[in-house]
Amino acid sequence: MDFIDIFAKRSFEFNQIPDLKGKVALITGSNTGIGKVCALEMAKQGATVILACRNEEKTLKVVEEIKSQTGNQNVEFIQLNLLKLSSVKDFADQFLARHNELHILVNNAGVMMCPFSLSEDGIETQFATNHVAHYYLTMLLLPVLEKSAPSRIVNVSSIAHRVPFKELNLETISDPSKYNKYIHYGKSKTCNILFTRELNKRLQAKGVNNVYVNSNHPGGVKTDLYRHISSIMNAVLNRFLITPEDGALTQLYLATSPDVEEKPIKGEYYVPFANHAEPQGVAASEDGPLKLWEFTENLLKEKVPGYEGAPI
């Protein structure tokens, strides 16, 4: 029954989010869906919240909406286009010019099962958005996350990492002749888990024990993420999809719960609602994390002028 999230055990609720005053939280894709819920709930608890989104007009309205609902005026917008690596760098520069601390990074934004296209850097859209841009963003912000520790990184993955495929085949990930929108989505979500595992391993090796990086499957959520699938499938799915509020619970748990530091929870994968699970398939492979890391590093060095490599 693990595909039907509405029946999942509830291990976390909004009222368990602790006081976040003094904390700085950054959420990508937070002007809609579960990202918006995360921004709202963290703002309710007093966090300074940065909405990292592409659409300025839409996001500024959400910023004002959150300020009005919470009374928290420390909510702001910085533009981020995940399909343009230069925009990721510009975003990081703007953020670091405004803030010298970052306690919570939620790599939430994503696209799903879209028709084949390339990012402005020539990278397949799902891989570019769901993995490469978030990897690059995390590397740019990792020094301030370490300095601000204890801090959290949450990489939003999906149960779609279980879509059956044997290899990531990263060398042909942007080849239109090899494209399958379902498989490529599953691969991009597998990358979120592999990245989490490798980053955690590197943090531990460096002796950084108070940056907690984890991944999660938010559940099948009623959002516009499903816009690229057929109307018939959408109608069927809607009978079983959960609300954005429920979909936000698991990543809010990983981003805010005292459990994460007390247990401690590091390099793990969680599913609705805030329950530990084991990744499957390629996401659980031994050699996958390092292979993905090295491929992504080489890709960024090719695509980003002056990129000197990860700071870890």
Distance of CA 310 to the CA centre of its chain: 18
DSSP, collapsed to helix, strand or coil, labels residue 253 as helix
Ramachandran class of 32: left when φ > 0, alpha when ψ lies in -120 to 50, beta otherwise? beta
Residue 239 structure tokens: 């009978």
Residue 10 structure tokens: 């509830």
Residues designated as active site = 185, 189
Tokens 């050699």 -> residue: 287
Distance, CA of 242 to CA of 169 (rounded, Å): 33
Distance, CA of 173 to CA of 128 (rounded, Å): 10
Pairing mode of beta strands 269-271, 275-277: antiparallel
CB atoms within 10 A of CB 238: 11
CB 280 within 8 A of CB 162: yes
